[in-house]
């Protein structure tokens, strides 16, 4: 079958995941030159709607995108323009079958589909290298943008990529106050890890910046050690930590759902735990 496969993402790791998931000729669309695929169309700006229109004009049989927020927006728009089915957050893809996680991380759905289709992929580690014969094409995103960007605010000092952190100390409402977050930070420093938080702590209470949110809405993490401090364990949070190797919970409540979803739970005070643990780690 001669088919056109288009792979788009802002993130080169997603593009590599896309290439590893398909055979045959591929057109890679990216905001930077990545020299992947048979052709690499380099776009000059990220306007989700114009990118979707560009992809649709290529009349693809298969579109693979990343699963970042803007990637997904492009994917949905593209599928709508092409009037074809779409499957988001695919963890496994073969021929006309795909697997994805559903019900807040509690189940895996197996799906059957036909081409043409748009699929957004979950990031995987691959050993895909640059293609020296890749044809570089400057892509002109012509057309009128319907949405005008007025302002962009980036965090000072950049943001922390929780999705690749090996050790995460994560705080929930149970830490008690914004001031107490510093104990978690001290522990994270002692362990060489990053600090994240649940939705209430990041999005509602503002104890941590919003980019630290871990869960269904927010970042999905896969560290070797995840320490959940005062996090009760709502399904939306558990959905984001499922792929952690070891989960440690510290909670006053022995009946909190997190206990059932952790490898080790210490029943006790979060602040006291942070102080004692940090002290002992420094002593190792």
Partner 1 sequence: MSSVIALFKIVPDDTLIRITQTGLDLNVPYKISTYDKNAIEEAVRMKEKYSLKAMGITAGVTDRKSIREALAMGLDEVVAIEMREMDIQTTAENIAEQVKGLSPKLIIGGETTTDSSGGVFIPYLASLLNYPIITYVKSLTLIEDKVRAERNLTSFTQTVESELPAIVSVVGEINTPRIPGVKQILESQKKPVKTINSTAIPKVKITAITPYTIQRKKVVIEGKMDEAVDKLLQYLKGEGVL
Site for partner 1 in 61-90 (CB under 8 A): 67-70, 72-81, 83-89
d(CA 98, CA 111): 5
- Which range in 14-22, 24-32, 132-140, 240-248 contacts partner 1 by CB under 8 A? 240-248
CB of 248 to partner 1, least distance (A): 7
CB of 272 to partner 1, least distance (A): 5
Radius of gyration of the chain (CA): 21
DSSP secondary structure letters along 172-238: -GGG-STTTHHHHHHHHHHHT-EEEE-HIIIIIS-SS-GGGBBSSSSB----SEEEEES----HHHH
Sites for partner 1 among residues 10-49 (CB under 8 A)? 48-49
Other beta carbons within 10 Å of 281: 13
Entry field: residues in the chain: 284
If binding is defined by CB under 8 A, does position 95 make contact with partner 1?
Answer: no
CB of 150 to partner 1, least distance (A): 4
Sites for partner 1 among residues 188-227 (CB under 8 A)? 191, 199, 203-204, 210-211, 216-219, 224-225
Sites for partner 1 among residues 142-171 (CB under 8 A)? 146-155, 158-159, 167
Q: Which is nearer to partner 1, 137 or 281 (CB)?
A: 281
Sites for partner 1 among residues 112-131 (CB under 8 A)? 112-114, 120
CB 65 within 8 A of CB 120: yes
């Amino acid at each position: 079958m001669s088919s056109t496969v288009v792979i788009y993402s802002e993130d080169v790791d997603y593009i590599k995941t896309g290439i590893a998931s398909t055979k045959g000729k591929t057109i890679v669309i990216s905001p930077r030159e990545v020299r992947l695929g048979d052709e690499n169309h380099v776009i000059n700006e990220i306007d989700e709607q114009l990118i979707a229109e560009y992809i649709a004009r290529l009349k693809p049989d298969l579109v693979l995108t990343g699963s970042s927020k803007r990637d997904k927006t492009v994917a949905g728009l593209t599928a709508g323009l092409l009037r074809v089915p779409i499957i988001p957050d695919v963890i496994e893809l073969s021929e006309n079958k795909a697997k994805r996680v559903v019900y807040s991380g509690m189940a895996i759905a197996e799906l059957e589909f036909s081409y043409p289709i748009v699929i957004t992929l979950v990031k995987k580690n691959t050993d895909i290298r640059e293609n020296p014969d890749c044809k570089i094409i400057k892509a002109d995103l012509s057309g009128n943008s319907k949405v005008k960007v007025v302002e962009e605010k980036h965090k000072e000092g950049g943001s922390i990529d929780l999705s690749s952190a090996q050790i995460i100390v994560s705080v929930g409402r149970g830490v008690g106050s914004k001031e107490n977050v510093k104990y978690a930070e001290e522990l994270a420093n002692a362990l060489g890890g990053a600090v994240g938080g649940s939705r209430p702590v990041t999005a509602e209470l503002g104890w941590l910046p919003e980019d630290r949110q871990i869960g269904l809405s927010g970042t999905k993490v896969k560290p070797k050690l995840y320490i959940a401090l005062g996090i009760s364990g709502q399904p939306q949070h558990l959905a984001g930590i499922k792929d952690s190797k070891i989960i440690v919970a510290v909670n006053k409540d022995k009946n909190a759902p997190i206990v059932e979803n952790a490898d080790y739970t210490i029943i006790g005070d979060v602040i006291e735990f942070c102080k004692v643990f940090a002290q002992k780690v420094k002593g190792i």
